[in-house]
Amino acid sequence: MNKLFLFFSRNRVLFAFILLEICSFWLVVNKNSYQNASFFLVSIEWSGRVENVKNSILQTLSLKDQNEKLMTENARLKESLQNLQPKMGIRSDLPPEVLNRYYYVPAEVINQTTERMSNYLTLNKGRKDGISENMGIISSSGVVGKVINASSNFSLGLSILNPSFYIASKLSRTGIQGSAKWDGQNIYKSKLLYVPMNLDVRVGDSIVTSGFNSVFPAGVPVGIVSDVNVQEGDAFLDITFILFHDFKKTSAVYSVGDRLKVEKDTLEQIIVAEQ
């Protein structure tokens, strides 16, 4: 007994080391259940505050650039509004949640990672502003990510630079569907998966969301095809595309909410139940 005690006391540093490493590993492994980890709710809120200060400094420096971006977007929106106005009169009999199915919460990316394998971003708007889990995040140029956790003032998003993020997409020229997924190589490029070999895909085709998984509305720009390869012995094409959203430049984004999401998901639950 005495010897055992002596053994422990002599190796106490080693045991403390093992214990602390187990704690760290436990934290790392638990990041898979990212959404539930309470570590994050506290961490988002506090690192959010720090990042806010940092951004207010940095943003002053990039104001001109941001302004230009917003102006082009304003112009684009005005134009599409003009096109829409005549059509809206005809369909005013529809209920408002169908007419205005999607709502947009403007937000600022105040923190993001791009250098990791799994990347995340923090927005400066939270539950108070109407953001909730599974809302899509888009910018004026294209898809950015989706909200996976929201505290009262901030929300945490899964970036599309994340190999666990599949974007239900289609090629706008031909309507061919596929799934866009980042391969961890380059923050400006991504891959389009599951497009069968025999289909016609060309360099320069643009990719938009198909709207199938109710995170993004249909037709949000995703990227433009830059490379199409045929892999020997593979049933699918190897398609590389350039992402429209530039993570290094744009921080103004919108969180997109779907007013009919609950209805759609409830209906689709039947499929899950059947299986």
Taking residues 108 to 147 in sequence order and writing x for each that binds other proteins by CB under 8 A, - otherwise, the string is ---x-xxxxx--x-x-------------------------
- Interatomic CA distance for residues 29 and 237, integer angstroms: 34
The single residue among 11, 30, 35, 152 that binds other proteins, judged by CB under 8 A, is 30
Question: CB of residue 24 vs other proteins: minimum separation in angstroms?
Answer: 3
- Interatomic CA distance for residues 213 and 220, integer angstroms: 13
The single residue among 24, 60, 198, 266 that binds other proteins, judged by CB under 8 A, is 24
- Could you tell me which residues are beta bridge partners of residue 30? none
Question: CB of residue 243 vs other proteins: minimum separation in angstroms?
Answer: 13
Question: CB of residue 247 vs other proteins: minimum separation in angstroms?
Answer: 11
What separation, in Å, do the N-terminal and C-terminal C-alpha atoms of the chain show? 58
- Interatomic CA distance for residues 244 and 222, integer angstroms: 6
Q: Which of 190, 189, 188, 192 is nearest to 179 (CA)?
A: 192
Segment 86-105, which members bind other proteins (CB under 8 A)? Answer: none
Segment 49-78, which members bind other proteins (CB under 8 A)? Answer: 50, 54
The verdict on 23 binding other proteins (CB under 8 A) reads: yes
The verdict on 40 binding other proteins (CB under 8 A) reads: yes
Q: Which residues contact 31 (CB under 8 A, 6 or more apart)?
A: 37
Closer residue to other proteins (CB): 8 or 25: 25
The single residue among 8, 12, 35, 76 that binds other proteins, judged by CB under 8 A, is 12
Size, binding site for other proteins by CB under 8 A: 36
The verdict on 244 binding other proteins (CB under 8 A) reads: no
Taking residues 176 to 195 in sequence order and writing x for each that binds other proteins by CB under 8 A, - otherwise, the string is --------x-xx--------
The verdict on 202 binding other proteins (CB under 8 A) reads: no
What number of CA atoms fall less than 13 Å from residue 226's CA on the CB side?
Answer: 11
Closer residue to other proteins (CB): 19 or 90: 19
Question: CB of residue 194 vs other proteins: minimum separation in angstroms?
Answer: 20
Q: Which residues contact 169 (CB under 8 A, 6 or more apart)?
A: 177, 178, 179, 180, 192, 207, 208, 209, 210, 222
Give the three-class secondary structure for 32: helix
- Interatomic CA distance for residues 202 and 237, integer angstroms: 11
- Interatomic CA distance for residues 122 and 149, integer angstroms: 10
Q: Which residues contact 218 (CB under 8 A, 6 or more apart)?
A: 208, 209, 210, 211
Closer residue to other proteins (CB): 124 or 209: 124
Stretch that binds other proteins, among 32-40, 86-94, 128-136, 250-258 (CB under 8 A): 32-40
Positions in the binding site for other proteins (CB under 8 A): 12-13, 16-17, 20-21, 23-31, 37, 39-40, 43-44, 46-47, 50, 54, 111, 113-117, 120, 122, 156, 184, 186-187
